[in-house]
């Protein structure tokens, strides 16, 4: 009708479902691998380099270095890098190596596991490897008789970023406890001996079987010291549709990571209180974020040239000790080399 004014009318050309909320979709903390508070590569088994992700190494002789890398797909700036430094060309039946990430149980209550309304989840991530072939991604849920799902995926092209996705139906029988324990544990397998790889994959939640836990893994990343593996863009979300990765601000991601690990360089504390005489003092340290549980405190370079002053006199701190730990803070006890004042 020529008399109808159509100015300003736009025809939609695409529809993208939001699966509910637009923000806080991703259950994974530090999935873009941006936060690395320790800021140093590691070669020890089961140690953290990047926050919330670590290499869990059960190899007899193979060794790898883990570091934060700037090698990343478009739209990302960091990745988790595994660099093999000592090869293991013949895997024993008990050998394995895997990257793992845990999600706190109370952060998964909206999944409604253990009810008739249990929700579907989808998982996505980006990988890059020098070694093509079949790899394993698995996820475990320990609260309900230790169940797991195990999937194979293929790295098709060497040294090329590829996005992998998986969908898992909700578990109507598998209750996830409402507590600060481990709700999900996610694994990326890099090498697997026959004790773990001789079984079958599992696309739905079933009781964990050791032989199934890394089933189908054909790649041994530790076969050559030139081999490398990169991981980033890890996302676990509610729904049936994989959405674009949810990028969060660095400060937001750092605060989430500090629930599990915090570090202080030359912390400035107030309220120094004499304790047990003039040569022992205590200071209160309030954590930046309430932690998941009372943490273990490690003091590095205790008393190494450090001094305490009352504004007029200065005395060397001979040692430091941590005590009275809880989820909100701790007391640091300073033992002095001499009298203050």
At 107-164, the pLDDT tens digits run 999 999 999 999 999 999 999 999 999 999 999 999 988 999 999 999 999 999 999 9
**Tokens encoding 256:** 């989430």
Q: What is the dihedral of CA 280, 284, 290, 293, to 10 degrees?
A: 20
Number of residues written out for the chain = 341
CB atoms within 10 A of CB 50: 29
Residues 177-196: tens digit of each pLDDT = 999 999 999 999 999 999 99
According to DSSP H, which parts of the chain are helical? 194-197, 250-257
Instruction: Considering only residues 316 and 184, tell me which one the structure prediction assigns the higher pLDDT.
Output: 184
Residues 46-67: tens digit of each pLDDT = 788 999 999 988 898 999 999 9
On whether the CB atoms of residues 192 and 108 are closer than 8 A, the answer is no
Asked if pLDDT for residue 271 goes beyond 60, the answer is: no
On whether the CB atoms of residues 137 and 186 are closer than 8 A, the answer is yes
CA distances from 22 to 31, 166, 242, 247 (A): 17, 20, 13, 11
Render the burial of 216-228: b for 16+ CB within 10 Å, e for the rest. bbebbbbbeeebb
pLDDT band at 201 (very low <50, low <70, confident <90, very high): very high
Least Cα distance to 229 among 152, 92, 90, 125 occurs for: 125
Contacts of 242 (CB under 8 A, 6+ apart): 122, 124, 165
């Amino acid at each position: 009708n020529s008399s109808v004014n159509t100015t300003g009318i736009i025809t939609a050309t695409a529809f993208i479902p939001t699966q509910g909320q637009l923000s806080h979709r991703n259950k994974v903390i530090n999935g873009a691998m941006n936060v690395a508070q320790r800021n140093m590569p590691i070669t020890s088994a089961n140690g953290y380099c990047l926050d919330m992700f670590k290499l869990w190494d059960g190899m007899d002789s193979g060794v790898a270095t883990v570091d934060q890398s700037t090698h990343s797909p478009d739209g990302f700036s960091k990745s988790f890098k595994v660099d093999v430094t000592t090869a293991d060309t013949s895997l024993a039946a008990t050998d394995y190596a895997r990257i793992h990430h845990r999600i706190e149980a109370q952060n998964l209550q909206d999944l409604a596991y253990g009810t008739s309304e249990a929700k579907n989840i989808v998982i996505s991530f980006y990988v890059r490897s020098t070694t093509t072939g079949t790899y394993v991604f698995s996820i475990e849920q320990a609260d309900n008789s230790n169940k797991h799902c195990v999937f194979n995926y293929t790295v098709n092209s060497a040294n090329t970023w590829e996005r992998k996705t998986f969908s898992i139906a909700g578990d109507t029988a598998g209750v996830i406890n409402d507590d600060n324990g481990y709700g999900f544990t996610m694994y990326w397998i890099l090498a697997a001996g026959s004790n773990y790889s001789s079984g079958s994959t599992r696309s739905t939640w079933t009781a964990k079987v050791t032989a199934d836990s890394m089933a189908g893994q054909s790649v041994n990343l530790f076969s050559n010291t030139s081999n490398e593996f990169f991981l980033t863009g890890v996302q676990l979300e509610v729904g049936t549709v994989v959405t674009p990765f949810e990028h969060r601000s660095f400060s937001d991601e750092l605060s989430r990571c500090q629930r599990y690990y915090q570090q202080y360089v030359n912390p400035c504390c107030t309220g120094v209180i004499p304790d047990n005489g003039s040569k022992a003092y205590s200071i209160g340290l309030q954590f930046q974020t309430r932690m998941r549980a009372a943490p273990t405190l490690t003091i590095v370079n205790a008393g190494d040239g450090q001094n305490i002053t009352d504004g007029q006199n200065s005395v060397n701190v001979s040692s430091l000790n941590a005590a009275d730990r809880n989820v909100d803070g701790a007391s640091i006890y300073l033992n002095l080399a001499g009298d203050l004042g």
